[in-house]
Structure 1
Amino acid sequence: MVLAAGVAGMTAGCAFLYGLPYLLPRLRADGLSLTHAAVLVACPTFGLLATLVGWGALADRYGERGVIALGLGGAGLVLLGAPAVSGPVALGACLVVAGAAAGSVNAASGRLILGWFSPAERGLAMGIRQMAQPLGVAVAAVAIPVLSRAGAFTFLAAGCLGAAALVAVVVRDPARSAGVAAGPSGSPYRTPVLLRLHGAGALLVFPQFAVATFGLVFLVDSARWDAATAGRLLAVAAFGGAAARLGAGWWSDRAGSRTGPMRILAGVTAGVLALLALAGAVGAPGVAVVALVVAAVVSVSTNGLSFTAVAEYAGPGWAGRALGIHNTGQNGVAALTAPVLGAVVTHAGYPVAFASAAIAAALAVATVPTLQLRG
């Protein structure tokens, strides 16, 4: 039940934090340029960046249940008021504040996995937890394109408030002594292992968000699909991504390593995105659509592996802060991906944007450290 409630909280938070790109067609119809609309949908991530380490420190000190419930509840209340504001600046400010509050679930829910599951179970458990991100995106992909702007924010607010109540009732914090420290004594940052994990995780977020943010508009602009149909296709891909995260976690438990499977999947991501860029450049829309769907699945598969590796190496005394730092790096890249690639698409086209994402995934292959599980 603890894991199920954690997944529900993550799903609701991720539907808001990472599902807003499905508002891009409506925002553009309201008169915003692609670049300006992309900045607006990135605003929750900018808020997230300011609070992740703080939420993680609070979870290390006071436990996970209160931190997650407080943050999701605050995000839901802010989102309820968002439709009442006027102008993109005011709306962006609301989204920044709501994103800052919703960051609690990113920082604290991963710590629950470290406390409640053994090393041989954590990969699968974290894979289940990390399924929430593509599941949240899938929910957003189906719901947001067919809702009004006000309806979309009300829908997302209801999800956050409902999940906050569920977490408050169901979740139990693990004993403070739970978990096994896998890393060195003292600060785990005395070695470069965590820094390499943070770097690889950040590099792999770039292709993930390149596809998540621009997949819909790519299908609309280049393949001439309507937004609702494109949203349904990407929702199916998001469910595939959820299954890929689950499978990657199970694989890492069996392999006795989080980083070995992570390196292989990063290489596959690079190859698929290179194919997508090439298909877009030569005008092969059928190949491009297939490559986009595969990229949407495989590009999200490594996230749970990096989270589990960070939590295990940091140990229970540092896991909240280390995951907060990891999340900050990942979401910093995510926040920049939308506006930067929006400008790239505007001036150079989709193939260049997807090629840059392939390069980032290839760099991650060389950055991932080699680690084996420790009991």
Structure 2
Amino acid sequence: MAGIVGGTTYRGGAVIVRRWFMLALGTAAQTAACAFVYGVPYLADELRHRQHLTLTQVGLLVACPTAGLVLALYLWGAAADRWGERVVIAAGLGGAAGALAVAAWGPRGMVAFGGLLVLAGAAGASVYSASGRLVMGWFSARERGLAMGIRQTSTPLGMGVAALAMPPLAGGHGLTGAIGFLAALCGAIAVLIAVFAADPARPKAAASEPAPNPYRGSNLLWRIHGSAALLVVPQFTAGAFALVLLVDVRGWSPVHAGQLIAVAQGLGALSRILVGRWSDRVGNRLRPMRQLAAATAAVVAAAAVSTAFPSPLTPVLLVAAIALTSSTNGLSFTSTAERAGPAWSGRALGVHNTGQNLTAAVVPPVMAVIISATAYWPGFGLAAAAACVAAVIVPVPSPVAATADAGAGRTISA
């Protein structure tokens, strides 16, 4: 077995070691990006009580990094298609580190703070658009579900890192300590990517001939994008409001609530790996995605009932909701890249990420308004309804079509 990367030939075990190292780098980069993009909810207690912001204002700050992502995802995806993954990831993550450093140690004001979070999110969008390409290019179709499942653990892992680190850092050192930690993390991973990452080899046809637009003549990609965006609603409702719910409804401390959520995010990471392996074994990404969307609707609905009638089961159901709502991301990303092909995967993942992160930017402030006006359970009920709709629109090709798509997806591998 041999592979060619950057003009150098690697044989046998060297290829295996190298591709798993690329997977580790891509996962680390995405974890660092997710820690700051999705870490603001874990500053809620600091922002509400020491910075004197309302829950609605906190919801707006939570949305700022994802708003930046939405503005830049497609452009970063096109850049990855043209110039490769290593340069794009390193430059973007380094830019995010710079913006976060200014937010941590520069002049303080909530408007300026929000603007810097937007800039950091726009820079970090490079990781979302390019790290998936990096992983997809190093693995064959029969292993891609597992590989992308591992890579997609970065979202719950990033949230878990933020849940563990942000409350105690904010409590002891304020926003400077918490945001400074995120800046240092992003900067360190950017250096590792710049030094050690290698772009996968691309098929000659993808480099020399214009590839057909995969969006023409089929709505399959749009249905994948739409269903994945809808599944963000329960994921971010549970992820953004579980901590304040436990504090407000159950009387937990922010630190203890953050520790429980970190456990839930760890379970979410494990679920992505298991689901990715499941999709490899059954040779289908979308059928498991539909089944998991239906299960998500049921669990989040149960969590809504438990918040309406608080009981000792409330924390357990919140953990289950956070873990399960994380499980489908790898499936949607993998199926998007496989369907788009190597020449379009950066742009297709950019579109996919744009839909997901636009939804992620909208969910926290909208849910904050709903929860502030009513209670927690209507927000969770609405999230369960979104999962129901997602289960309906997930496209499930026939076995023949799914096999054909998987075969076509092999051309992405190095």
Q: Shorter chain as normaliser: what TM range?
A: over 0.9
1:48 to 59, 66, 69: 69
| 8 Å CA contact retained: 1:128, 1:246 | yes
1:218-260 Cα distance to aligned partner (Å, 9 max, x none): 1001111110000000000100000000011000000100001
1:155-205 Cα distance to aligned partner (Å, 9 max, x none): 00011001101111121101121899xxxx611111100000000010001
1:237 to 258, 264, 272: 264
| 8 Å CA contact retained: 1:179, 1:315 | no
2:44 to 24, 30, 49: 24
Amino acid in structure 1 at the alignment position of 2:247: V
1:34 alignment counterpart = 55
| 8 Å CA contact retained: 2:293, 2:388 | yes
Structure 1 stretches of 4+ with a deviation exceeding 4 A read: none
> How far has the Cα of 1:85 moved from its partner?
2.4
2:134 alignment counterpart = 112
2:344 to 307, 318, 324: 318
Distance 1:278 1:295 in 2: 13
SS in 1 for 2:108: coil
Distance 2:39 2:282 in 1: 33
Correspondences of 1:270-309 after superposition (within 5 Å): 270-281=297-308, 283-309=309-335
1:121 alignment counterpart = 143
SS in 2 for 1:174: coil
Q: 1:277/1:179 Cα in 2 relative to 1: closer, same or farther (>3 Å)?
A: farther
Q: 1:177/1:154 Cα in 2 relative to 1: closer, same or farther (>3 Å)?
A: same
2:213 alignment counterpart = 187
1:4 to 24, 31, 45: 24
> How far has the Cα of 1:285 moved from its partner?
2.4
1:234-293 Cα distance to aligned partner (Å, 9 max, x none): 000100000000011000000100001111111111000110111121x23212211111
2:248 alignment counterpart = 221
2:17 alignment counterpart = none
Task: Give the TM-score of the pair, scaled to structure 2.
Answer: 0.88
Distance 2:312 2:329 in 1: 28
Distance 2:75 2:190 in 1: 19
Aligned residues: 370
| 8 Å CA contact retained: 1:47, 1:97 | yes
Q: 1:229/1:290 Cα in 2 relative to 1: closer, same or farther (>3 Å)?
A: same
| Higher alpha-carbon Rg | 2
Correspondences of 1:1-375 after superposition (within 5 Å): 1-29=21-49, 30-83=51-104, 84-147=106-169, 148-177=174-203, 186-190=212-216, 191-281=218-308, 283-371=309-397, 372-373=402-403, 374-375=406-407
Distance 2:212 2:297 in 1: 36
Amino acid in structure 1 at the alignment position of 2:251: R
| 8 Å CA contact retained: 1:114, 1:179 | no
Distance 1:11 1:258 in 2: 23
1:24-78 Cα distance to aligned partner (Å, 9 max, x none): 1110011100001110121011011110000000000110000000000000011
| 8 Å CA contact retained: 2:43, 2:167 | yes
Distance 1:5 1:325 in 2: 23
2:3 alignment counterpart = none
Distance 1:162 1:133 in 2: 18
Q: CA RMSD for the aligned pairs?
A: 1.2
| 8 Å CA contact retained: 1:76, 1:156 | yes
Distance 2:265 2:39 in 1: 11
Distance 2:200 2:91 in 1: 18
Amino acid in structure 1 at the alignment position of 2:93: L
| 8 Å CA contact retained: 1:116, 1:178 | no
| 8 Å CA contact retained: 2:26, 2:135 | no
Distance 1:209 1:272 in 2: 14
Distance 1:100 1:189 in 2: 25
Distance 1:340 1:328 in 2: 18
| 8 Å CA contact retained: 1:67, 1:104 | yes
Structure 2 residues not aligned, in runs of 5+ = 1-20, 408-414
Q: 1:178/1:95 Cα in 2 relative to 1: closer, same or farther (>3 Å)?
A: farther
Q: 1:77/1:179 Cα in 2 relative to 1: closer, same or farther (>3 Å)?
A: farther
Deviates further, 284-293 or 15-24? 284-293
Amino acid in structure 2 at the alignment position of 1:111: R
Q: 1:347/1:178 Cα in 2 relative to 1: closer, same or farther (>3 Å)?
A: farther
Distance 2:44 2:214 in 1: 41
Amino acid in structure 1 at the alignment position of 2:329: N
| 8 Å CA contact retained: 1:240, 1:297 | yes
